[in-house]
Amino acid sequence: MSVDVRAAGAVLWRRAGDGFEVAVVHRPRYDDWSLPKGKVDPGETLAATAVREVLEETGYHAVLGRHVTQTTYDVPARSGHGVLKKTVDYFSGEAVSGSFEVNDEVDELRWLDPVAAERLLTRDTDTRVLREFCALPVSLITVLLVRHAKAGKRDDWTGDDDLRPLSDAGQRQADALRTLLPCFGPTRVFSAPRLRCVQTVRGVAEDLGVDVRHENLLSEEGYWPDPVLGIARLLAIAGDGGTPLIASQGGVIPDLISALADRDGTELAAARAGVVPSKKGSLWVLSFLPASGDVGPRLTSADYYPTPLPAPAPTRH
């Protein structure tokens, strides 16, 4: 399918008592009530677009979670002749700070419970997005799982493989991750004890003012003697609060995600012939239901971003 216009937005939400509210905005240009969204700027990822557009339209800084859905519809061409195909990717976005002020695009914002918000929304496409958002709880745990960026070929490196550094291309990927990952609000940083893994997330850790904690159970050498221990370690990290960022290796990530998906009945649509993708520099955004009673965190959603560089929409799982 040819896409002429790309856009992104979010279902912006905040806690309210024992429940939550979502933001619905009024756009005087169209005289409609909608969810905040806008067009992708050149050189911008969809996640960055969603965060920027939410801020511009609502005044709120959002931390993204799962990718909710993608809508596609026709819009008139600016020339006045013909139509264009427009796609909008929506994320879950928690409002963490800010306040609304009237701006060039939005003259009113209302915080409403989901039922009232659905009644107010003008377009059926927004209603479907809101319903998809409400299909899962808002209080999900996000784990950001990154494969280390490019580090050249192992056969070309004559030193200790643990010390093989990022290549120039890998450093560009790491720089792009440093821009992309803050959209999802990481709070802690972990890494397999390989230089290339640490270098991939070091910039994010520096921006957060935290150390990169080594996790041997999430390295290839540490994981495979007992994968159950590696999976348990990731779940323990997930249950410790905040949004952890973990850098690991291609020999670990596919098996770990497959095992969690099989255990929790989560479909991985990106898998082909049973193989879970894990390109160098790629990101998995894993969403877990919090632990309840004797049951630990359960994987309920997983989104794959094959590159941190500006790219097409993430594959939704």
Could you tell me the CATH number of the domain that includes residue 23? 3.90.79.10
Alpha-carbon span 254 to 241, nearest angstrom:
24
Bridge partners for 91 per DSSP: 10, 67
Alpha-carbon span 181 to 184, nearest angstrom:
6
SS (HEC) of the chain: CCCCEEEEEEEEEEEECCEEEEEEEEECCCCEEECCEEECCCCCCHHHHHHHHHHHHHCEEEEEEEEEEEEEEEEECCCCCCEEEEEEEEEEEEEEEECCCCCCCCCEEEEECHHHHHHHCCCHHHHHHHHHHHCCCCCCEEEEEEECCCCCCHHHCCCCHHHCCCCHHHHHHHHHHHHHHHHHCCCEEEECCCHHHHHHHHHHHHHHCCCEEECHHHCHHHHCCCHHHHHHHHHHHHCCCCCEEEEECCCCHHHHHHHHHHHHCCCCCCCECCECCCCCCCEEEEEEECCECCECCEEEEEEEECCCCCCCCCEEC
Reported as a pLDDT band with limits 50, 70 and 90, residue 143 is very high
Q: Among 107, 134, 161, where does a domain finish? A: 134
Same domain, 211 and 188: yes
- Average the pLDDT over 53-80 and give the result: 91
Same domain, 164 and 305: yes
Same domain, 188 and 72: no
Reported as a pLDDT band with limits 50, 70 and 90, residue 2 is low
What are phi and psi for residue 82, nearest 5 degrees? 80, -175
Query: pLDDT value at position 311?
Result: 55
Same domain, 163 and 283: yes
Alpha-carbon span 91 to 89, nearest angstrom:
7
Reported as a pLDDT band with limits 50, 70 and 90, residue 3 is low
* CA distance readout (Å), 136 to 260, 266, 287, 301: 18, 13, 10, 9
- Average the pLDDT over 293-311 and give the result: 90
Same domain, 189 and 274: yes
Query: pLDDT value at position 312?
Result: 53
Same domain, 239 and 305: yes
- Whether this prediction's pTM lies above 0.85 is answered by yes
Q: Among 80, 113, 134, where does a domain finish? A: 134
- Domain assignment of residue 80, given as a range: 5-134
Same domain, 156 and 293: yes
Whether the predicted pLDDT of 173 surpasses 70:
yes
Alpha-carbon span 60 to 52, nearest angstrom:
10
Same domain, 129 and 147: no
Task: Provide the terminal-to-terminal Cα distance of the chain, rounded to the nearest Å.
Answer: 20
Whether the predicted pLDDT of 162 surpasses 90:
no
> What value does the mean pLDDT of the chain take?
93
- Average the pLDDT over 56-80 and give the result: 91
* CA distance readout (Å), 221 to 154, 232, 237, 259, 312: 16, 16, 19, 18, 34
CATH code (residue 289): 3.40.50.1240
- The closest alpha carbon to 178, from 153, 154, 144, belongs to 144
Whether the predicted pLDDT of 149 surpasses 60:
yes
Same domain, 129 and 247: no
Alpha-carbon span 54 to 218, nearest angstrom:
35
Domain count, the chain: 2
Q: Among 93, 119, 134, where does a domain finish? A: 134
Same domain, 121 and 219: no
Same domain, 215 and 290: yes
Reported as a pLDDT band with limits 50, 70 and 90, residue 272 is confident
- The closest alpha carbon to 301, from 285, 287, 282, belongs to 287
**Cα dihedral sign for 74, 79, 82, 85?**
negative
Q: Which amino acid is at 54?
A: V
Same domain, 126 and 273: no
Query: pLDDT value at position 316?
Result: 43
